[in-house]
Amino acid sequence: MASPWNKVPPALLSFLLLFLWLPNPSASQQEPCQTCRDLASNFLKGLERTQRENFGGGNTAWEEEKLAKYANSETRLLEVLEGVCATSDFACNQLLEQSEDHVEQWWFHEQQQHPDFFQWLCMDAQKLCCSPGTYGPDCHTCPGGAQKPCSGYGQCDGDGTRGGTGLCMCQTGYGGPFCSECGDGYYEAARNDSHLVCAECYRACGRCSGPEDSSCLRCKRGWMLHDRRCIDIDECGTEMAHCRANQFCVNTEGSYECRDCAKACIGCMGAGPSRCKKCNKGYQRDGVKCLDVDECAGEVEEPVCTGANEACENTDGGYRCICAEGYVRKDGICEEDKPPDAPEKGFFDDITDDEVVVLQQMFFGAIICALATLAAKGDMVFTAIFIGAVAAMAGYWLSERSDRVLDGFIKGR
């Protein structure tokens, strides 16, 4: 049988192969069995899609014979294979090319005897998958048996593939190598020959015999067992807490927190400036509290801001030097804050709209007088220019006047 790739021109095939080889950073490496499983699934979808493709809808013997020939034809196989792998799916296309002989063997010779295409290709021919409940290169049985791996309360690592460790990954609340026991923090609420129900212990119990706080057998970290009850350990009152130098310890249920001391403190025994071991720079002891020192106060021996036109502003734990009122800092120096000089006025800046109109009329009048003088000498060119200028001036004047009349009417003049 001819390969479906033989229909592709060589130049186009080379381009497609180069495109397929390009790495796709967004696609993760898929397990080979899953790739084969997807390929087999798409192959079966193609069979369903082409099942009655060449059937015209009649009920004649000729139609039935035509459909029977198409059902197992090379034409149909090629149509099915065209939709098995996406163009960008390199793993699928590579596996399809490697499996071409097996696919043809199944299509033309093994369908009746081995109707399960997935088992034929992925398990028997390519040996990429195992039957459910088995794992690894030799398809070993998962813990708990192939029928109910991991007692039904977990996932066998590598189940159904030629990989994996076969170890049980138990569901929440279950534990043990076969997931047949209750895990830490859970107790056995019910059990029979086929089922196990695990329920959650009281929140402080690591192991327990029931849901009550008095049924603890072992405590979680941060708790201490006393008369089958778990009592919170105060890590802050023991050597168990490990906070940094400028932090203090706060006990919480089953644990503790380290919180930062107040800004006024160097070391502290709790929150706030009254729990300081020592006052920080910029603060001084006043009774039990560390209070801010006002470096800008008048009783300070020497002024802290010595620059010209500078003023002192007190801050929490310090101070800053700012420019006095009416001054701004430029290049590190406080200079008088002068308003910018007003720009010089132009020759026409103060002229009103009416004065602009008068100037326009004077300008056009001068031009018309000059043209009239030239036209009076009999020059035909200037005569024509003079007539055009008069007409234009008249049109402009009438237009301006009508606008003014309309504007005055609107404003109620």
Domain ranges of the chain: 4-129, 135-232, 247-292, 298-334
Q: Which fold is adopted by the domain 135-232?
A: 2.10.220
pLDDT of 322 higher than 80: yes
The percent of residues above 70 in pLDDT, for the chain, comes to 73
pLDDT band for position 70 (cuts 50, 70, 90) = confident
> Please, what CATH class does the domain formed by 298-334 belong to?
mainly beta
Tell me if domain 135-232 and domain 298-334 are identical in fold: no
What per-residue confidence (pLDDT) applies to 337? Answer: 85
pLDDT of 366 higher than 90: no
What per-residue confidence (pLDDT) applies to 281? Answer: 93
Select the more confidently predicted residue: 24 or 394: 394
Beta strands per DSSP E along 143-277 = 154-156, 168-170, 174-175, 181-182, 186-191, 196-200, 205-208, 216-219, 223-226, 229-232, 247-252, 255-260
The percent of residues above 90 in pLDDT, for the chain, comes to 56
pLDDT of 346 higher than 80: no
CA distances from 7 to 3, 4, 76, 85, 163 (A): 8, 6, 15, 16, 36
pLDDT of 170 higher than 70: yes
CA distances from 182 to 195, 288, 324, 352 (A): 12, 55, 75, 97
pLDDT band for position 73 (cuts 50, 70, 90) = confident
The answer, as to whether pTM is greater than 0.75, is no
What per-residue confidence (pLDDT) applies to 244? Answer: 93
Select the more confidently predicted residue: 298 or 325: 325
* pLDDT tens profile 173-189: 999 999 999 999 999 99
DSSP label of 385: H
pLDDT of 299 higher than 80: no
What per-residue confidence (pLDDT) applies to 300? Answer: 61
* Average pLDDT of the residues in 34-49: 93
* Average pLDDT of the residues in 220-224: 95
pLDDT band for position 332 (cuts 50, 70, 90) = confident
* Average pLDDT of the residues in 386-410: 58
Select the more confidently predicted residue: 293 or 69: 293
What per-residue confidence (pLDDT) applies to 241? Answer: 86
75 close to 69: Cβ distance less than 8 angstroms: no
* pLDDT tens profile 347-356: 666 677 777 7
Across 22-36, 108-122, 136-150, 209-223, least confident range = 22-36
State which amino acid sits at residue 17: L
